[in-house]
Amino acid sequence: MPIDMPLPDLPPDARGRLVVGYSGGLDSSVLLHVFAHTPALRARGLHAVHVHHGLQAGADDWAGHCVATCERLEVPCSVVRVNVARDSGEGPEAAARAARHAAFAAQLEPGDVLALAHHRDDQAETVLLRALRASGPDGLSAMRPLRPFASGWLWRPLLALPRAQLLAYAQAHGLEWIEDPSNAVDDADRNFLRNRVMPLLRTRWPHADVALSTVAALQAETSGLLAAGDDMALATARTRDPSVLRLDALRALPVARRTRVLRRWIAELELPPLPARAIDWCNADLDTGRADRAPCFDWAGHRLQRWRGLLQAAPIRAPLDADFTAQWNGAAPLQLPDGGRLWLDGATDDRMWTVRAREGGERICLPGRAHTHALKHVLQSLGVPPWIRAQLPVLVDGEGRVLAAGDLAFDAGFDAWLRDGDRRLYWSPPGDMHTVLDAPIA
Q: Output the CA torsion 306→312→313→315 (10° steps).
A: -90
Q: With contact defined as beta carbons under 8 Å apart, do 391 and 433 qualify? A: yes
What is the Rg, in whole angstroms, of the alpha carbon atoms belonging to the chain? 28
* Gap between the Cα atoms of 307 and 313, Å rounded: 12
* Gap between the Cα atoms of 305 and 386, Å rounded: 9
Is 60 flagged in the annotation as binding? no
User: Within 10 A of 328 (CB to CB), how many other CB atoms are there?
Assistant: 19
Is 361 flagged in the annotation as binding? no
Which stretch of DSSP H or E encloses residue 287? helix 276-288
DSSP track, 337-372: TTS-EEEEES--TT--EEEEE--S--EE--TT-SS-
Q: With contact defined as beta carbons under 8 Å apart, do 115 and 155 qualify? A: yes
The pairing of strands 18-21 and 113-115 is parallel
Sheet containing strand 341-345, strands side by side? 334-335, 341-345, 424-428
Opening angle at CA 88, ends 28 and 428, nearest 5:
105
Is 26 flagged in the annotation as binding? yes
Which long-range CB contacts under 8 A does 268-277 form with residues at least 24 apart? 268/242, 269/242, 269/243, 269/313, 269/314, 271/302, 271/313, 271/314, 271/315, 272/90, 272/299, 272/300, 272/301, 272/302, 274/299, 274/304, 275/299, 276/134
Residue 349, exposed/middle/buried by CB under 10 A (0-12, 13-18, 19+)? exposed
Is 27 flagged in the annotation as binding? yes
Is 135 flagged in the annotation as binding? no
* Gap between the Cα atoms of 346 and 329, Å rounded: 12
* Gap between the Cα atoms of 404 and 365, Å rounded: 10
Is 25 flagged in the annotation as binding? yes
What SS3 class is residue 306?
Answer: strand
Opening angle at CA 50, ends 45 and 54, nearest 5:
165
Residues comprising the binding site for ATP?
Answer: 23-28
Residues comprising the binding site?
Answer: 23-28
